[in-house]
Copies of this chain bind each other. A is one copy, B any other.
């Protein structure tokens, strides 16, 4: 029997990779992974997304370049406008207008084309307070709009109705999501990339900075999930080295 197909938006980060892993292992979906390229930071993220496409035995992995969006967003937000400083705490300047709507609509075009049943993205309950496009109300509304857009072919049996899913819709927070991903992926989970920065170069490797908001959320989630965090953080490497030096002296 063929397994149902799910188009999963994966950035190469912890949330989206763990959710895709869980959909494949626990819910029996064949994975079709979709990664969006922006221009900045993309190189490292894409490399991780490609790695997980292999690990998760994805049926297909498309990497699509939507860096033209930067020209539309202009100065509307700090994530796509390098001239603005990234704030350390949540700020409206971090909200990229209707970003998840753009992602989910393009993903649905693919899902409708291959008769996938599900379109998934990695928003979890921790994203809900600040990001309206991570809330179930948004998911319900875009889900309805996209199926209406294809209603004739769905009724005719030519295409399949899609359901938009996310950890937030399923009531999962970041630590719960991480636990689910860890069960499937084991230590490979530490190959995901969370850092807002391009990382800190250490020889041939790049380390998570360890001090940006996203790195801090990553650490906290591992602590809450009671999973030993084997991520290489630049800050911790430094403090570990310092600690070791001290121990050597004393």
Contacts and interface: CB of A to CB of B under 8 A. Distances in A.
A138 B99 CA distance: 20
Interface in A56-70: 62, 64-66, 68-69
Overall SS of chain A's interface: helix
Given A65-B68, A73-B110, A141-B141, 7 more contacts: A72-B109, A74-B114, A76-B114, A95-B153, A98-B149, A101-B149, A142-B149
7 contacts: A72-B109, A98-B146, A98-B149, A101-B108, A130-B152, A132-B152, A141-B148
Interface of A: 62, 64-66, 68-69, 71-74, 76, 92, 95, 97-102, 105-106, 108-110, 112-114, 130, 132-133, 135, 137-138, 141-142, 144-146, 148-153, 156, 158-159
A156 B150 CA distance: 34
Contacts of A141: 141, 144-145, 148
B73 A62 contact: no
A69 B144 CA distance: 22
- Copies per complex of this chain: 2
A4 B15 CA distance: 40
A145 B148 contact: no
A207 B132 CA distance: 49
Contact of A145 (B109, B130, B138, B153): B138
Contact of A105 (B101, B132, B148): B101
A69 B109 contact: yes
A168 to B, nearest CB: 14
B109 A99 contact: yes
Nearest to A75: B113
Nearest to A108: B98
A115 to B, nearest CB: 9
B109 A97 contact: yes
B113 A73 contact: yes
Contact of A138 (B68, B114, B132, B148): B148
A-B complex: 9 closest residue pairs judged by Cβ atoms: A97-B112, A141-B145, A76-B113, A72-B110, A133-B149, A142-B145, A64-B68, A105-B105, A98-B149
